[in-house]
Amino acid sequence: MDLKIYLKHLCISISFYFILALVFFIYLINKNSLHFLNDSNFLRFDANLYLDIKNNGYHENWLCAFFPGFPYLWKILNTSAIGISIVNAVIFIFSISSIAMLYNIEWKRQLFLLSIPSLMFMFVPYTEALFFATGTLLTVGLNKNKLNLILLALLLGSLIRPTTFVFIPAILISYIFTEHYFKQGLTKSILPILVLIAGLLLTTIVHYVYTNKWFVFFDAQKLWKNYLHVPQFPLTSWGGDASNRFDGSALAISLFCGVFLVYLFFEKLKNRIPFSKDLIFSMSYITGTSLLILAYRDGNLYSLNRFIYATPFIMVSLHYFFKEYQFKWKHVWLTFFVSEVFWLLFGSYNHIHNLLMFSIVSLYFISILLTKHPNKVISTISLFGLISLNSIGIIKLAYRFLNNGWVG
Residue 156 sits at the vertex; the CA angle it makes with 247 and 246, to the nearest 5 degrees, is 5
C-alpha dist (Å) from residue 407 to 44, 87, 167, 268? 10, 21, 25, 39
Instruction: Give the per-residue pLDDT at 273.
Output: 63
- Model confidence over 304-314: pLDDT tens digits? 999 999 999 99
Average pLDDT over residues 88-100: 98
The verdict on residue 340 lying in a domain is no
Domain of residue 168: give its range: 2-325+372-402
pLDDT the model gives residue 1: 54
pLDDT tens digit string along 1-57?
588 999 999 999 999 999 999 999 999 999 999 999 999 999 999 999 999 999 999
Average pLDDT over residues 63-86: 97
The answer to whether residue 341 is domain-embedded is no
Burial 197-226 (b: 16+ CB within 10 A, else e): eebbebbbebbeebbeeeebbeebbeeeeb
pLDDT for position 268: 78
8 Å CB contact between 281 and 174: yes
pLDDT at 181: 79
294: confidence class by pLDDT, cuts 50, 70, 90: very high
Decide if 351 is inside a domain: no
| Within a domain: 220 | yes
Q: Please state the rounded mean pLDDT for residues 231-248.
A: 94
Q: How many residues does the chain have?
A: 408
Q: Among 387, 336, 386, which Cα is nearest to 358's?
A: 336
Q: What is the mean pLDDT of the chain?
A: 95
Q: What is the DSSP letter of 179?
A: S
Is 260 within 8 Å of 252 (Cβ atoms)? no
- Which secondary-structure segment (H or E) carries 30? helix 2-30
Backbone angles phi, psi at 236, to 5 degrees: -135, 180
Which pLDDT score is estimated for 270? 77
Other Cβ atoms less than 10 A from the Cβ of 15: the count is 12
Q: Is the distance from CB of 216 to CB of 200 less than 8 angstroms?
A: no
CA 195 to CA 199: how far, in whole Å? 6
Q: Is the pLDDT of residue 225 over 70?
A: yes
Q: Give the pLDDT band of residue 274 (cuts 50, 70, 90).
A: low
- Report how far Cα 114 is from the mean position of its chain's Cα atoms: 13
Distance of CA 162 to the CA centre of its chain: 14
For 174-214, what is each residue's pLDDT tens digit?
999 888 778 888 899 999 999 999 999 999 999 999 999 99
Does any domain span residue 273? yes
pLDDT value of residue 195? 97
Percent of the chain with pLDDT strictly greater than 70: 99
Is residue 357 a part of any domain in this protein?
A: no
| Banded model confidence at residue 61, pLDDT cuts 50, 70, 90 | very high
Q: Is residue 408 over pLDDT 90?
A: no
Count CA atoms within 13 Å of residue 57 on its CB side: 9
Count CA within 13 A, CB hemisphere, residue 190. Answer: 6
Residue type, 387: I
| Cβ atoms 38, 187 nearer than 8 A | no
Count of CB atoms situated within 10 Å of the CB of 187 = 12
pLDDT at 224 over 60: yes
Q: Mean per-residue pLDDT for 81-99?
A: 98
| Beta bridge partner(s), residue 236 | 300
pLDDT, tens only, 252-273:
999 999 999 998 888 877 776 6
Q: Taking the C-alpha atoms of 347, 349, 351 and 352 in order, what is their torsion angle to the nearest 10 degrees? A: 140
Number of structural domains in the chain: 1
* Percent over 90 (pLDDT), the chain: 87
The tens digit of pLDDT for each residue in 362-399 reads 999 999 999 999 999 999 999 999 999 999 999 999 99
**Residue 347 is assigned to a structural domain of this protein:** no
pLDDT of 192 reads 97
